[in-house]
Structure 1
Amino acid sequence: MSYLLVFLNALFQFLHPVLLWALAGVAVPVAIHLWNKRPPKVVEVGSIKWLQPSKSQRLSRLQLTNLWLLLLRSLLVALLALILAEPQWKRQVSVLPERNVYLHPALLLPAYAAQIVSHVDSLVTRGWQVHLLQPGFPELSFTAEESLSKYQTDSVKADSVNAWAMLRVLSRSLPPHAHATVFSTDLLRHHQGEYPVMHDNFNWVPVSSPQTAVWLQEAFYTTSGQLLVKFGRSEANRVEFIEHRFTKTKANEALSASGFPTVRFISHSSADSLALVESTKNKIEIQKLPLQVIIRHDKARQQDVKYIRAALQTALEHKGISHTLTVSSSSAPLPNAAPDWIFWLTDEPLAPFLARFPEKRLKTLQDARTSTKAHQLNSWLQIPGIVQQVPLHKRTSSGEKEATAKVLWQDGYGNPMLTQTLTQNHTQYQFFSRFHPSWNDLPDSGHFPELLYQLLFPANEAWLTKFDTRTLPPQLQQPQLFPASFSKNSPKTVEEVIDLKLWLVALAALLLALERWLAGQSFKQARQP
């Protein structure tokens, strides 16, 4: 038995080799078969008087009958033991490594595609598959006679793909023997986070394309009637913003100044617009009317108004934008024209006011309502970008309704203090305190105008994913060209593991059916006279 186990372990590998001792159970059907003697046949005769008396003899030797049935039953027991031991067959098979090229979508732009088209085409002729380096890794299928140039385009939808994040996905998903060559730009915005850990057979190639991006960041009319235009400029190692004031503007006029890009001014009935002459894709709108800000308050918040009015006035004057700041009590009629901003410091319902201007995208800020119970506490306001802690003395509960709102400020315990809720035509800010020194020290803080400025004029950071041309640090990896020659990948062998359990179960079912059929045939023969 021990020799049999050694032989099986040499031929296969078992997850539970100790269960191979169950093979000893083969002796059970053999023993039952040997002791299960066939009953004697009864022979009917007319008379026994002519039979000679003889000495009775009993056969004591064991005889094997129905050998095929015995063999099937023994084999079934052996298969059951093997199934319990879960055999596996391991073998070495020769495989040709997977060879894939991954291209960042931005490389399909003409500035990059011209640098890599010959290298990629050369890889294709050697059997490499080409994929885009973006979620799903879609394949770019073209024959050896075709070229990567067929996919070149003037604009790409997935320009903001993080190449390092995609490399981490490839490192986890591709098999160890796979070969991958990844082409990406050398732009900093395409490589965010930590440098990925790659396999030895991965090759990352950043492709350089020296470029400078210039774009329109924003434009608005100033309090003096001038048109202030802010330009952005990005180079390999820096980003800068410059602004210029144009005094006279005419419809469809090209505005230019020394050291600034030329822009075209277009006048419309509701809003004007500016576009760079060199690029028709960079266009921004200019609000014609002054920025309208309203503070509506009730009697209980008269003291709050002087603090928030002074802070708003400081923020608006610092921006220099044309504006009107109006203070209205709850006893005064509601404005007929829709403002851009309204600070709703009153317990009046806000919904009826919003319903009057369904097409105007309003921004509103509400403070703590008088009907809501205020809690005394000794805490502080946690505001991003503000290192100094602003003491918090009183607040109201945020409630479950604000659970899905974006939290902008928090108290010292992590509870929401200022939330933002966006709907189709409304941006709602909810402050769970008030702009009064008895509630918090925000009105007396030098950061109060700055915080209101951030609410009135949120930073436009779209340039980070569209126009930022800063490149990777040289010490990380210098941009390089892909080598002109490629070494052929010799076939490798990998260990293939085949689970034999299911095959053995199927064989056991087949043998069981055959055993039942043979047993039935033997029973029929035994009953025949």
Structure 2
Amino acid sequence: MTIQNPTYFWALLGLLVPLAIHLWSRKAGKTVKVGSTQWLIASENTRFSSLQFNEVWLFVARVIVVLLAVLILLDLVQKRPATPNKTSQTWILTEEDLLSDARVRPQIDSLTKSGIPLHLFKAGMPMLAKEALTKIPVQTKQDQEIVTDLNYWSYLNELNTRTDAPKRVIIFAQNTQKRFQGTKPTLNLEVEWVNLPQQRKSVFLLDALQLPNDSLLLSIGISDENGTQVLREKIGRQANTKIKDLPSVIVKDQQVQFAQVPNEGVQIRKPIPKKIHIAYTESHSLDQQYLKAALEAVGEYMQTEVRVTAAPIEQLEKDAGNKKGVDWAVFLGKAPENNAIFNIGNQQIVQGLKPTNQWFEQDEAQPTLHYLRQRANPEVNPGLLKDGKFLEEITQLLFANPNAQKRLIQFDQRKIVLSQASPTKKKQANQHLNTQDKTKKNTRNYHLLLWLGLVVGVVVERLAEATKVKV
């Protein structure tokens, strides 16, 4: 029981009022009728010489009324006992796969011994008992990446909406970029990310494209916490090949794999015929001739049909309906403003000059849109015919694996800075309101009962005063 307004204790002085009333008020004496008062002797008034307490029950009723009024002013509240399902102020959150990781387990064990509950960082955030944790064996070799599909933001949003959410969470997780999908949430929680030891560099196969003369064009991804790069190597189709300082490559049937990880191989792809249409302005007439010749040369080299048509952009505007269904639409000079004309191809290449060593660059927002960064005209760009980089990039662009991006995301090891991984904290005012709400829920006051008692007490006191016997 807690008194919220102890300064109102002075109101107990009000008990002196009914006490004084019942000490000084005396009943009237009996009246004796006589014929004349001249024979009566006047007696001394003893009203103040002797105090006599009377009307005890009426006094008790008045005292109770005063006490109830004082209790209302004092504002008595009682704290409710914490229910068993209430959680502590801090949680440990960890991916289930990390519980057996020797790099992480000692820290988790240390925190759980201090009394902090352990929850799994997944949907529902289930609690893991200490007994269950001790039964999980610790593995000292955890070099391979854990590829479980997780979205940290969605889990933290879910936790923030729970009624038993803690004030602070300590998270053991892999802070790779692919696991932070969507918008950074705004939470009431204080989030602390534990920086895990660095994973080893991930080397993986992205693609294997069949080339003439029984050779293969391999796309190899190399990813670490700082970034991801893709290497392309041309190898012969033999059983075992060593590429620089990379793992040995094994070619078996229609599959290519690294010797160390045979379960992560890729299927050998054969190039598919392509239909390409080039739309150009008059100032880029020579560009389209060289580009058309380069595309046809690539098709001949890949032993795959590459059908190329070309026409001025003005003619395309009249005949756009007949060009629908082409694999690539190339626009030299300028891109048409009409979306119906622009989207005649499944993928588009637009002239977008930029001082760079690359020939083609993919748009970040539109994966099907690519930019031609240099002029395909030797009179303007003498470097066009100096090396085979132009033809090499055309080959890679036309026959790229559409599923390579998904595989790249799967093995991506890039990490974000821990400060960026921390969600936005809600304003302090909102936290203060939430604290007040929780305080109200955890206390019980007696205002209603005291007011009801006061009303009943006043009614009883008035009835007793009105019905007392006067002699």
TM-score normalised by length of structure 1 = 0.45
More helix by share: 2
More strand by share: 1
TM-score normalised by length of structure 2 = 0.49
